[in-house]
Chains A and B, each alone.
Chain A
Amino acid sequence: MTDISQNPQARQHGGVTLRVAMPWIVGAFLILVLPFVFQSNSAITIMNQMSITIIFALSYNMLLGQGGMLSFGHAVYMGMGGFLCVHVMNWDMFGSLPLPVLPIFGGIMGMVMALIIGSFSTRKAGTVFAMISLGVGELIAACSVIIVVFFGGEEGISGDRTYGMPFLGYEFLSQIEVYYLIGFWLFVSALLMFLFSRTPIGRMANAVRDNPERAEFLGYSSRWVRFNSFVAAGFFAGIAGGLFAISYEILTEENLNLVTSGSILLVTFLGGVGVFFGPIIGAIVFTLLQTVLSLETEIWSLYVGALFVATVMFFPSGLAGVLMMHAPAFKLGKWQMLIVPYIKTLVPAALCIVGIAGIVEILFHARHSAVGETEMTLFWITFDHTSIMPWIVFAVLAIVGFWITRKTAPDLVEAWHAATTPDEVSR
């Protein structure tokens, strides 16, 4: 879990260099431009969802990646922030409050919750912390069904964002206006979280994660450091909750429970916990999987589960970690060497996955479709699952793909080593 993104040069000069600012400028540009590329309403809804997940995942990574605290109850802070924001929407004074400041209420609510819970849960990291977060998460999720006044019971509570004071003439009636509001908050909170990780307290969080005992000897209270990260993470989770409230205008028990907490762990780990931008990649990939894949197949969560387990087993540094593995090759200017071996390995691997997925889909259809309904459509081809032909095709795809992948994988590893080690001659 090394932090590769730190830039010693910029730190020495103490100023903001273009190299440091570049990703943020590109990010801001993307946030501004994307709605012109993907104009449909559903695409904007997906991007809203994505942005909220990014903030939530970044806030979760403040705990898991930067502070070494595995939480199973992070949805609590997002949910509580969201619930408070819906209540604010239903107040009479909401009419004199511009909508864009609403997430701050959520942030403060998340922070207050984190202050209370963090006061006893951050005493230890590791398993104790994980267990307390699980217990507290279950408690609050269960309370949300009992305490109807605040949580609205089973059906949750809902509000209307358009009752707020118009902000610069916008009333946030359409999705696109909401998109820019969320985009603004996404940029601000991502930047703030990045800057937090660069402050001394953010650096100490890394130290406490890696070796709490040493940090204590340096004179830092590891509990205090963890507490600080925890409260900050709670604040940003609350912001994400506030944005959720604005975007969906309804919050239910689902926003607080273990399933949501678990899926944010999945998102963050999939993206990579070691690098700051890891959770961003995770959130984008996961939201795309969730929305696009779920349209295509009923058993998308099976694939996501398999992907997650494979990530933990083979790439514990996540997608961002895999990307960062190639940084040396780019620095040495030898990334061209990788292209051919990658094509040779990844194309058969993709075919193998298609083959396996095909068999899984046919099996699922054969087992769970209505009696007599044997026709199914897969990869834009309609066929009958009782006939033997599709089975053979997919099995051949899977086996041949697997065989070629195994054959070419050693070459890829060799090429990768060659590309990431400096040349003897050039020295």
Chain B
Amino acid sequence: MELILVNIIDGLVTGLLLFMLSAGLTLIFSMMGVLNFAHASFYMLGAYFAYEISTYLGFWMGLLVAPLLVGVVGAGVERYGLRRVHQYGHVPELIFTFGLALLIEELVKFIWGNDQVPYQIPEILEGAAFTISSYNIPAYKVFMIFLSLIIFGGLLYVLTKTRVGMIIQAALSYPRTVEALGHNVPLVFMGVFGVGTALAGVAGVIAGPVLSTFPGMAFVLGSIVFVTIVIGGLGSLGGALCAALIIGWLTTFAKAYNVRMEDILTGIGFEKPEPLWDSAWSDLWTLTSPQIADILPYLLMVLILVFRPYGLFGKRDV
């Protein structure tokens, strides 16, 4: 029972982190219709910027300044890169962001080198916040959960209750009309892109110390973020949250509980082949759930795309 609770918290941390990345991505997609392949690269930039700042001014300044910097870089990319490529169509846009992801990774390697950088959690958040029977829950995880929830709340408030949020929502569905009403839609686009990448930056700042900050960190998380928003339904913020949590819990539980294929197969009534190593099916028999935990999200995405292309909460086709 206690183990379940611990895993729920762990899954929540992963899920909320994924959500912070996918929230920005799904906003950008619903606005511009382009899947930003480089989104996870901005997450990586967030972590690296925060590391660089934290060596001079400490973790908290990094948390404050790095996302802003990432947002500025993101807005610049939209203004001078994407807007230019936009005229060629959606596929070149997608390819542009793909190239950008490569370029950012190479730039990071160029500046900070190929190895992991020693980006640490602040001293005040070291140690355990509380214990569940014998399991310690680190304070940093609690901090991550709270920060993500605050950001989600803030985002929801801005989007639904403020004037800016209304304009953004209107520009999502009818950009032409909004423009005709006298709003500067390209500026709104740039702003949303900047905020979306800044959110990814925040995720990078807080995930950097626990998931380690290295040039491959964008690649590791990049495709999972796509999976999240595709499962949740493109353009749906609630869907992104839901899918992020599902993926977080799915992978955490698959890793924590060692479900073995052998038990399932014998449970159904198959005979275990002897000797096992000689059998063509030996890989199937030795399969365990921690082994496949990381590919479960992809499996889920392919199934979703085949049977329900709108995703869980999406309204329109991808």
Contacts and interface: CB of A to CB of B under 8 A. Distances in A.
Contacts of A309: 81, 96, 99-100, 102-103
Contacts of A367: 111, 113
B305 A132 contact: yes
Interface in B201-232: 219, 223, 226-227, 230
A136 B94 CA distance: 18
Contact of B294 (A120, A142, A301): A142
A312 interface: yes
A135 B35 CA distance: 15
A206 to B, nearest CB: 14
Given A124-B317, A313-B81, A138 B295 contact: yes
A128 B318 contact: yes
A126 B90 contact: yes
Interface string A281-325: 000000000000000000101100110110011001000000000
A110 to B, nearest CB: 19
Contact of A146 (B109, B113, B283): B283
Interface string B282-294: 1100010001101
Interface string B270-305: 000000000010110001000110110011011001
Nearest to B107: A302
B95 A70 contact: yes
A120 B96 contact: no
B250 to A, nearest CB: 15
Contact of A301 (B35, B106, B299): B106
A348 to B, nearest CB: 23
Contacts of A299: 106, 109-110
Given A68-B91, A138-B298, A316-B88, A302 B98 contact: no
Contacts of A131: 35, 226, 230, 301, 305, 318
Contacts of A362: none
Contacts of B230: 131, 135
Contacts of A149: 280, 282-283
A403 B102 CA distance: 29
Nearest to B288: A146
Chain A: interface size category: 35 or more
A147 B283 contact: yes
A309 B98 CA distance: 9
Interface string A366-395: 011000000000000000000000000000
Contacts, number: 115
A146 B98 contact: no
The prevalent SS among residues of A at the interface is helix
A364 B110 contact: yes
Contacts of B85: 312-313, 316
A134 B292 contact: no
B76 interface: no
B118 interface: no
A143 B287 CA distance: 11
Contacts of A301: 102, 106
Interface in A108-132: 120, 124, 126-128, 130-132
A313 B77 CA distance: 12
B183 interface: no
Contact of B113 (A308, A316, A368): A368
B283 A305 contact: no
B176 interface: no
A306 B90 CA distance: 21
A313 B305 contact: no
A67 B219 CA distance: 28
B306 interface: yes
A276 interface: no
B309 interface: yes
B238 to A, nearest CB: 20
A357 to B, nearest CB: 12
Given A258-B223, A302-B107, A312-B96, A139 B302 contact: yes
Interface string B66-105: 0000000000000001001100101110111011101101
A193 B14 CA distance: 46
Contact of B95 (A127, A265, A368): A265
B99 A135 contact: no
Interface in B125-182: none
A360 B102 CA distance: 17
Contacts of B111: 367
A68 B92 CA distance: 11
A136 B227 CA distance: 11
A124 B309 contact: yes
Contacts of A305: 99, 102-103, 105-106
A269 B223 CA distance: 21
Contacts of A262: 98, 102
Interface in B221-249: 223, 226-227, 230, 234
B299 A139 contact: yes
Contacts of B295: 138-139, 142-143
A186 interface: no
Nearest to A139: B298
Given A142-B295, A312-B85, A367-B111, A135 B98 contact: no
A147 B107 CA distance: 35
Interface of B: 35, 81, 84-85, 88, 90-92, 94-96, 98-100, 102-103, 105-107, 109-111, 113, 219, 223, 226-227, 230, 234, 280, 282-283, 287, 291-292, 294-295, 298-299, 301-302, 305-306, 309, 317-318
Given A146-B292, A148-B283, A149-B282, 18 more contacts: A70-B94, A120-B306, A126-B318, A131-B305, A135-B230, A142-B294, A146-B287, A147-B283, A258-B219, A262-B102, A305-B102, A305-B106, A308-B102, A309-B96, A312-B92, A312-B99, A313-B96, A367-B113
CB-based closest 5 A-B pairs: A305-B103, A302-B106, A142-B295, A309-B99, A308-B99
25 contacts: A70-B91, A70-B94, A70-B95, A120-B306, A124-B318, A126-B90, A127-B35, A128-B317, A131-B305, A132-B302, A134-B226, A138-B223, A139-B298, A143-B295, A147-B283, A258-B223, A266-B102, A299-B106, A299-B109, A301-B102, A305-B105, A309-B96, A309-B102, A309-B103, A312-B85
